[in-house]
Structure 1
Amino acid sequence: MSAPSDDISFHVATKLGFHRLFQYLMGANLNSSRIRMTTPVLTSIVPGAGPLHSSAYFVRLYLPEKFQDSPPVPLPELNLHPDRWPSHCIAVRSFSGYARDNNVVEEAEKLALSLSHSPWANSTNYPSKNAYSIAQYNNPFRIIGRLNEVWFDVDCKSAGIEAY
């Protein structure tokens, strides 16, 4: 399930998008179904799509398998949309701490630099419309031992790998 946001800040977009998704999980859907929370919370960054050519964001949660084929319809005021991802390959870089405006771009740049010296040097952003995504695995109350990842979509075939 996806919560679009055109907020200027990664942190604010993630917070507000997650709040809408959490309401959905707690029963703000046409079935009043309560849905178990999954991880990660994924915020995808789409550069230049927001106001004044700033970034736009999609905050996403995976639904448990039970709801994937037929997700409960969210209440219209939540502005949520089902989001299906086809099989694809991603390059991942882990980082700790909190994912914030001041470090997500830096972590994405580190992954891009690492990929520039690999077989995937020219295969990022394929065929994705997202620049990158940030996966956050821990609740905000966990201070130590936090796990986050930056994800780039990559073209598996350019490196001789098949996606299934």
Structure 2
Amino acid sequence: MKKLSFFLISTPFLFFAASVSAIESPEYTVIHSESDFEIRLYRESAWMSAQADDISFEKATKNGFHRLFQYIQGANLNWSRIAMTAPVLTSVVPDAGPLHSSAYFVRLYLPVKFQASPPLPLPELNLQPVKWASHCTAVRKFSGFARDSNIIKEAEKLALSLSRSSWANSTDFLDKNAYSIAQYSSPFRIIGRVNEVWADVDGSQVPGCEIYESRAAH
């Protein structure tokens, strides 16, 4: 499980801080590693998802996270307080939004305590629980802030690395340009920031992923 020394998130109205002992992240195994990317096998997991139709990645992330934060603070039908997790994951789907702009889905991994039965969010938050089967993901790390001005460039770097590797034909990322940005660091942290670009990989073509993909299909 990925470990973080500190995690801090801010929205225009809310502030949250937690120590490493309170932070959970989705579990994964590294199947393959190169200098500029790695292939991870993520286990089956449950997330809470907020769709945001903002044209801006940054605005969409703030919009979606604000609603998700309300959810984990108790805006759910059980009035349950849910521990913060990492990362804040914003999935980008080009041409799926208004006026052929990108559509965004901002997601939070649910703690193990709530994986089997997540509290239902209040309807006005417009959130949806999402269950992910075990799957493989190509991941590229990058530092600094994740901005509208640089996320596409970072995704293109991952696409270029994959195109030069044996996984060139194992993802439709190169054709569809659909990817996710995972953010782990406080917005107030300047040095040592951690972000990642994620792109799904066809497990049937990746040694170590095929057996899990086969199980997930049944």
Say whether residues 1:64 and 2:111 are aligned partners.
Answer: yes
Q: Is the 8 A contact 1:42 1:133 kept in 2?
A: yes
Deviations 1:122-149 (A, max 9, x none): 22137xx880000001121222111000
Say whether residues 1:14 and 2:72 are aligned partners.
Answer: no
Say whether residues 1:30 and 2:77 are aligned partners.
Answer: yes
The match for 1:98 is: 145
Aligned Cα RMSD in Å? 1.4
Distance 1:162 1:40 in 2: 23
Unpaired stretches in structure 1, ≥5 consecutive residues: none
- What secondary structure sits across from 2:104 in the alignment? strand
Distance 1:67 1:6 in 2: 27
Partner of residue 129 from structure 2, selected from 52, 57, 82: 82
Deviations 1:35-71 (A, max 9, x none): 0000000000111110111110000000101101110
Count of paired positions: 162
Distance 1:140 1:125 in 2: 32
Which stretch shifts more, 42-51 or 154-163?
154-163
Distance 2:149 2:79 in 1: 38
Paired AA for residue 143 in structure 1? I
Q: Is the 8 A contact 1:46 1:132 kept in 2?
A: yes
The match for 2:200 is: 153
- What secondary structure sits across from 1:83 in the alignment? strand
Deviations 1:20-42 (A, max 9, x none): 00000100111111000000000
- What secondary structure sits across from 1:146 in the alignment? coil
Relative to structure 1, the CA distance from residue 105 to residue 16 in structure 2 (aligned partners, 3 Å threshold; closer, same or farther) is: same
Q: Which has the higher strand share?
A: 2
Distance 2:150 2:142 in 1: 10
1:75 deviates by 0.6
Deviations 1:1-32 (A, max 9, x none): 00001110000000110000000010011111
Paired AA for residue 116 in structure 1? S
Distance 1:34 1:159 in 2: 39
Paired AA for residue 31 in structure 1? N
Identity %: 74
Unpaired stretches in structure 2, ≥5 consecutive residues: 1-47, 213-218
The match for 2:183 is: 136
* Runs of 4+ off more than 6 Å: none
TM-score when normalising by structure 1: 0.94
Distance 2:136 2:115 in 1: 20
- What secondary structure sits across from 1:17 in the alignment? helix
Distance 1:157 1:24 in 2: 36
Partner of residue 86 from structure 2, selected from 39, 52, 55: 39
